[in-house]
Amino acid sequence: MRFWSLFQGGDGARVEQMFASVHKQAPQLRIEPTTLAWGPPYYTNLAMASVGGRAPETAIMHLSRLPGYAPGGLLEPFDLDLLAEFDVQPEDFVPELWSRGQYDGATYAVPLDTHPFIVFYDTGMADKAGLLDSDGRLRAFDSPDDFIAASRELAGVSGANGVAFGHVNDDAQGWRLFWNLYRQTGADMRLPAGGPARFDRDAALRAYTFLADLLDGEHSAADLDYQTALAAFSDGRAGMIFTGEWELPYLSDGVENLGAAPFPTVFEHPGSYADSHSFVLPRQSSRDPERVRAAHRFVALMLRNSLTWGKAGHLPAYTPVATSDAYQELEPQADYAAAGKTPLLDPEAWFAGAGATFQSDVSGTLRTALAGAGPEAAVEQLDRTLTSWVARQNPAKGDES
């Protein structure tokens, strides 16, 4: 059974461990893994393989990319009866996560994890700044101003930055943070093919204005790139960092007093930007029933062995693992696990999602808000960007879009 993924480095090593567990439980299941480069190259190759009849039996896809693939006939639906035979049911997942794997009444994606945008913080600095609750964890914040004040307290303790955030020359960070804050206002965004794009301009302005006040260049730098932000936090030049839980292995090696929490509720509604590595079944030129069965069994066994995945920082999507004592005992994973209950997923559009140029384009609006013409100009730039994207044709659907 051929399996394509984009898991490299530490994630790749974890997947190999999961393969070993699967092999012990199903020795007759022979896995042929292939790892491709993250981002556009991966998704281009996956689409081409499906069109050309050379696709693997199963593959990993970010859930945010599903609208660009399932409607174009590039994927096959899962057989829910087969999954149930291997102890995987829709009820085993957070409803919002499971529902995003649906298209036209069928299931096209089965989530392996949720990987949210969270905050890591230095517990020693946070304690000195008076930001810990009675349990020694990051306290709640009751307003945008309260969070900004807390960041400035951290800046006083660190002597440099309250919050480190790396977004310069990054294709996704600006989008992740903007979307996180925008959705916390309760606003939505509609991006139908052909337009018009619909978004809440006031909510967007609130998000950009908050970030301009927070990352003011005095208490927190406005112009850090991704690696510089990680270094600033690791070296004690920031009390907190906005980033993904996927940085847990790196930060746990470099920060002695590492704490973690779901992204703070800055506006009215809790939630953390998130995506999900999900299993899909690429379209086959001819489907072999035994290979289809093997793919379903493989997916089920990978889910049941996803505690290994959780140790790397990711939140297992399969509830029997996520609620197990073994997972709940992991630290600091248990401190931010609640982020998996309120995931703020990308808008459903064929051009959106992980590794998409759309994310890079919207990320540019944050640079305008922070270091360019300001928040109002960023809203206008966002409007132009969204209008441009909804007018484009989905190449996977040809003249139908």
- Token representation of residue 76: 């096959």
Measured torsion, CA atoms of residues 141, 146, 148, 149, in degrees rounded to the nearest 10? -120
Task: Answer whether residue 212 is part of any domain.
Answer: yes
Q: Is the confidence at residue 379, as pLDDT, over 60? A: yes
Mean pLDDT of 56-84: 96
Q: Is the confidence at residue 179, as pLDDT, over 90? A: yes
Our CA angle for 281, 302, 354, nearest 5°, is 55
Our CA angle for 321, 322, 323, nearest 5°, is 90
Enter the pTM of the model.
0.94
pLDDT of 216:
97
pLDDT of 122:
98
CATH number for the domain spanning 25: value is: 3.40.190.10
pLDDT of 171:
86
Task: Answer whether residue 191 is part of any domain.
Answer: yes
Question: Which run of H or of E encompasses 81?
Answer: helix 80-85
- Token representation of residue 137: 């964890």
- Token representation of residue 55: 């696709």
| Average model confidence (pLDDT) across the chain | 95
Cα dihedral across residues 224, 227, 229, 232: positive or negative: negative
- Please tell me whether residues 102 and 9 are part of one structural domain: yes
Count up the domains in the chain and report the number.
2
- Please tell me whether residues 78 and 170 are part of one structural domain: no
> pLDDT-based confidence at 138, cuts 50/70/90?
very high
pLDDT of 33:
96
Q: Is the confidence at residue 345, as pLDDT, over 60? A: yes
> pLDDT-based confidence at 394, cuts 50/70/90?
confident
Report in angstroms the alpha-carbon separations of 274 from 16, 39, 69, 138, 303: 24, 16, 19, 20, 19
Buried b (16+ CB within 10 A) or exposed e, 286-299: eeeeeebebbbbbb
Mean pLDDT of 182-187: 98
Report in angstroms the alpha-carbon separations of 94 from 91, 100, 338, 370: 8, 10, 11, 35
- Please tell me whether residues 24 and 93 are part of one structural domain: yes
Mean pLDDT of 161-176: 95
- Please tell me whether residues 252 and 365 are part of one structural domain: yes
Mean pLDDT of 320-340: 95
pLDDT of 401:
36
> pLDDT-based confidence at 378, cuts 50/70/90?
very high
Residue 132 is given by DSSP the state B
Task: Answer whether residue 396 is part of any domain.
Answer: no
- Please tell me whether residues 174 and 92 are part of one structural domain: no
* Identity of residue 140: A
- Please tell me whether residues 127 and 255 are part of one structural domain: yes
> pLDDT above 70 covers what percent of the chain?
99
Q: What is the tens place of the pLDDT at every residue in 350-366?
A: 999 999 999 999 999 99
Q: Is the confidence at residue 124, as pLDDT, over 50? A: yes
Q: Is the confidence at residue 309, as pLDDT, over 90? A: yes
With 0-12 / 13-18 / 19 or more C-beta atoms within 10 angstroms meaning exposed / middle / buried, residue 154 is buried
Task: Answer whether residue 333 is part of any domain.
Answer: yes
pLDDT of 285:
84
> pLDDT-based confidence at 400, cuts 50/70/90?
very low
Q: Considering only CA atoms, which of 246, 248, 173 is closest in space to residue 211? A: 173
Task: Answer whether residue 399 is part of any domain.
Answer: no
- Please tell me whether residues 180 and 266 are part of one structural domain: yes
pLDDT of 119:
98
- Please tell me whether residues 213 and 327 are part of one structural domain: no
Query: Domain residues for 25?
Result: 2-115+274-344
- Please tell me whether residues 76 and 93 are part of one structural domain: yes
Give the Cβ contact number of residue 185 at 10 Å. Answer: 18
pLDDT of 397:
66
Task: Answer whether residue 401 is part of any domain.
Answer: no
pLDDT of 396:
67
Give the Cβ contact number of residue 254 at 10 Å. Answer: 13
pLDDT of 163:
98
Task: Answer whether residue 400 is part of any domain.
Answer: no
- Please tell me whether residues 149 and 259 are part of one structural domain: yes
Q: How far is CA 284 from the centre of its chain?
A: 28
Q: Is the confidence at residue 79, as pLDDT, over 70? A: yes
Q: Is the confidence at residue 399, as pLDDT, over 60? A: no
pLDDT of 95:
92
- Please tell me whether residues 140 and 210 are part of one structural domain: yes
Task: Answer whether residue 128 is part of any domain.
Answer: yes
pLDDT of 222:
96
Q: Is the confidence at residue 35, as pLDDT, over 60? A: yes
- Please tell me whether residues 251 and 122 are part of one structural domain: yes
Query: Phi, psi at residue 227, to the nearest 5°?
Result: -65, -35
